[in-house]
Structure 1
Amino acid sequence: MALEHKPQVIVLDIGLPGADGYELARMLKQHPQLRHIRLVAHTGYGSPEDRRRALEAGFDAHLVKPAELEDLERRCAASAPGRPLL
């Protein structure tokens, strides 16, 4: 879907069935046509270890559910992919 739609931002949960959000983030960031996409984790996993894993997997931002709309908008609109907003 990402190749077809070419989004600027993907808001992604980490606790997914099958491949988790960490794995999906790695796959997206490794793809040459998709690595520019800003990835925002919106998850129930909020420990320091979870935040570290999100950054290592390629997420640009990490929000714990339920996130405030203002926080989500700010992280989605942040200018530079690859610059973490954890």
Structure 2
Amino acid sequence: MLLIDDNLDAAESLAQLLALSGHDTRTAGDGVGGLRVAAVFRPEVVFCDLGLPGMSGYEVARLLRELPFGRDMVLAALTGYGQPSDRERTAEAGFDAHLVKPVDPEVIESFLDDSRAP
């Protein structure tokens, strides 16, 4: 799993929590870095913040979906933006889910179980 968030403390905390559940995780602090990590790591699941420096999470999602390995990945927005228009934009950008911060770890595990993510 790849977590892309400019709040590296939050990303690392979630990565550690997911690792304790047996998931292989990586983190990136911005969209460009996230795309670089994704190109090498080839994650099956990506959690991506929307308000990233330099490149929005919406742009990251669109670019990931254009890559051969990105078409089938599970892509979830993990963001503080929770308005209906934000949810519409995430769906249009190619996200499979829209999770609003702070997200309860049980919600994330349930999402992963529902999506059959590794």
Q: Place the TM-score, normalised by the shorter chain, in its bin.
A: 0.7 to 0.9
* TM-score of the pair, normalised by structure 2: 0.63
Greater RCO, 1 or 2 (C-alpha within 8 Å, sep 6+): 1
1:7-22 correspondence runs (5 A): 7-22=43-58
Quick check: 1:6 aligned with 2:42? Answer: yes
Q: Distance in 2 between matches of 1:77 and 1:17?
A: 31
Specify the code of the residue in structure 2 equivalent to 1:67.
Answer: V
SS of the counterpart of 1:49? helix
Structure 1 or 2, whichever has the larger Rg, is 2
CA RMSD of aligned residues (A): 1.6
Match of 2:101 in 1: 65
| Alignment length (residue pairs) | 81
Percent same amino acid at aligned positions?
Answer: 49
Unaligned runs of 5+ residues in structure 1 are: 82-86
More helix by share: 2
5+ long unaligned stretches in structure 2: 1-36
- The separation in 2 between residues aligned to 1:77 and 1:54, in whole angstroms, is 21
